[in-house]
Amino acid sequence: MFIITEEEIRKKVKEIAERINEDYKNCDEIILIGVLKGAFVFLADLMREIKIPSKIDFIKVSSYGQSTESSGIVRIELDTSIDITNRDVIIVEDILDTGLTLKYIKELFLSRNPKSLKLVVLLDKIERRKVDIKADYVGFVVPDKFLVGYGLDFSEKFRYLPYVRELSETEKSS
């Protein structure tokens, strides 16, 4: 069974934050936008490691519903409240899978004219990509498995796990 431990996650979050701190060292402020619900745990840990003054906001989109497969149709359920015009923005996402959702969000935010826009993902499932999109900061490249924990869920279960693991066949059917 595939697993990323709590300690591995903690180290990777610090590494990503160090890169962001270096890349934005001359920046007055950054806007971190978490994609709900999955990225909230990652965003919370990441923002505590970032030393650049920052504001946070959230966007909630859906494309999975109660399934283990993305429908490919992205719906905005909650939009951001901060004006990102001429601001440095980082979208924080738990997993980059097919890329459909993140590409949609990226294009939406680019239409709002930020000064800069970067993507950070904890997990990157490259082999599942359906569109051309890459994250600027990646925690782990992961295999094509349905993963839960550290904010990732299956039907709202397993978000509480402090590590990431593969969902078992038994859990998928229950």
Instruction: Kindly report the number of other CB atoms within 10 A of residue 82's CB atom.
Output: 13
**Which of 31, 42, 7, 50 has the alpha carbon at shortest distance from 117?**
31
Of 86, 80, 88, 95, the closest CA to residue 27 belongs to 88
User: Which one, of 144, 146, 145, 147, lies nearest residue 128 by Cα?
Assistant: 144
Structure tokens at 9: 């996650």
Residue of 88, 94, 97, 153 with catalytic role = 97
Would you call the peptide bond into 106 cis, given omega within 30 degrees of 0 as the criterion? no
Q: How is residue 24 annotated by DSSP?
A: T
136 among known catalytic residues: no
| Helices within 33-150 (DSSP H only) | 40-49, 100-110
Catalytic residues: 97
